[in-house]
Amino acid sequence: DWWYHNLGSVTGAGVAEITNQMEYDDEVAFHATQKLYEFARVSDDADRRPWCLTVSFTHPHDPYVARRNYWDLYENCPALEPEVGFIPYDSQDPHSKRLYKASDYDSFDITPEQVRRSRRGYFANISYLDDKLGELLSVLERTRMLDDTIVLFCSDHGDMLGERGLWFKMCFYEGAARVPLMMAGKGIKAGLIETPVSNLDVAPTLCDLAGIDMSGIAPWTDGQSLLLLAGGKERSAPVLMEYAAEGSYAPMVAIRNGKY
């Protein structure tokens, strides 16, 4: 038995009506909806307290299996081809060679069609997740709580999806390390900011929005509130990254400042 998920997620990519992860995320959406209704029942009470709800979905994630209605959205999608193609083992950097071993690459013969199907399944599950988020936003709107709620969406990691021949996370290349971070609410202007930031910035940002002094809660944090950046100011510190899990033999660190 392989100790970590291997490239069976790639060779097994395709369509399914239900998986463990779909069942889990369907249930997460259901319980989040019920919780929002609970908040709505007391939203007009004079002594109501502010609330914070964390809703954690697993999608998009391997295995690359999606429901048919989402799979069909990506027929002939041009992004099914990796931007950077397969790089042979001998031409890879030392860490990427470790990742080939960690994914049991030698036991598989991955075809271009399997790469496309895997990427298609991942993209399909992004659309699945988009619908789940839409359901929750619809509840906020129907219960008249949307205008009084800050919504922040982020993720813990991406997926290489065959770029450079790599899969899953486990590295600092863009596919694995770059994730979305979207924020909406009263006083937050619409726009796109390309400056790299970090998940370390999420807690300071939420505290800033809530009027909470972060120094009294977690004075050791390296994160920064993103409100200044959202208001057109420059970020004053580089982004710190760390990885110490599957595929690494020691903790890895990186510093990102702008493009580099």
CATH classification at residue 149: 3.40.720.10
In this predicted model, what pLDDT tens digit does every residue of 56-88 receive, in sequence order?
999 999 999 999 999 999 999 999 999 999 999
pLDDT of residue 45: 81
- Regarding whether 199 and 98 lie in a shared domain, the answer is no
What would the DSSP string read from start to end of 203-232? Answer: HHHHHHHHT--GGGT-TT-----SHHHHTT
**Alpha-carbon distances of 16 from 45, 117, 124, rounded to whole Å:** 45, 13, 12
- Regarding whether 116 and 40 lie in a shared domain, the answer is yes
pLDDT of residue 56: 98
pLDDT of residue 3: 55
Say which DSSP state 203 is in: H
In this predicted model, what pLDDT tens digit does every residue of 178-196 receive, in sequence order?
999 999 998 888 999 999 9
User: 80 in a domain, yes or no?
Assistant: yes
Range of the domain at 156: 8-186
User: 34 in a domain, yes or no?
Assistant: yes
What whole-number distance in Å separates Cα of residue 128 and Cα of residue 194?
A: 25
- Regarding whether 139 and 82 lie in a shared domain, the answer is yes
**H-helix or E-strand containing 70?**
helix 68-71
Q: Which of 186, 221, 241 is the last residue of a domain?
A: 186
**Alpha-carbon distances of 244 from 20, 176, 251, rounded to whole Å:** 26, 14, 4
Q: Which of 162, 186, 210 is the last residue of a domain?
A: 186
Rounded average pLDDT over 116-121: 98
pTM for the structure as a whole: 0.94
Percent of the chain past pLDDT 90, that is, above it, reads 80
pLDDT of residue 258: 84
pLDDT of residue 4: 64
Place of tokens 């940002």: 205
Checking if the pLDDT of 5 tops 80, the result is no
Instruction: Give the residue, 228 or 167, on which the prediction is more confident.
Output: 167
Tell me which residue of 155, 149, 161, 151 sits closest to 74, measured CA to CA. 161
Percent of the chain past pLDDT 70, that is, above it, reads 98
pLDDT of residue 25: 98
Rounded average pLDDT over 128-132: 98
pLDDT of residue 218: 86
User: 12 in a domain, yes or no?
Assistant: yes
Checking if the pLDDT of 205 tops 80, the result is yes
Instruction: Give the residue, 139 or 217, on which the prediction is more confident.
Output: 139
pLDDT of residue 2: 52
What whole-number distance in Å separates Cα of residue 24 and Cα of residue 40?
A: 24
- Regarding whether 162 and 128 lie in a shared domain, the answer is yes
* Averaged pLDDT of the chain: 93
Place of tokens 């299996």: 65
- Regarding whether 61 and 33 lie in a shared domain, the answer is yes
Q: Which two tokens stand for residue 89?
A: 């083992």
Rounded average pLDDT over 99-111: 94
Rounded average pLDDT over 95-100: 96
User: 123 in a domain, yes or no?
Assistant: yes
Q: Which of 126, 160, 186 is the last residue of a domain?
A: 186
Checking if the pLDDT of 115 tops 70, the result is yes
pLDDT of residue 48: 83
- The total domain count for the chain is 2
User: 220 in a domain, yes or no?
Assistant: yes
In this predicted model, what pLDDT tens digit does every residue of 15-32 receive, in sequence order?
999 999 999 999 999 999
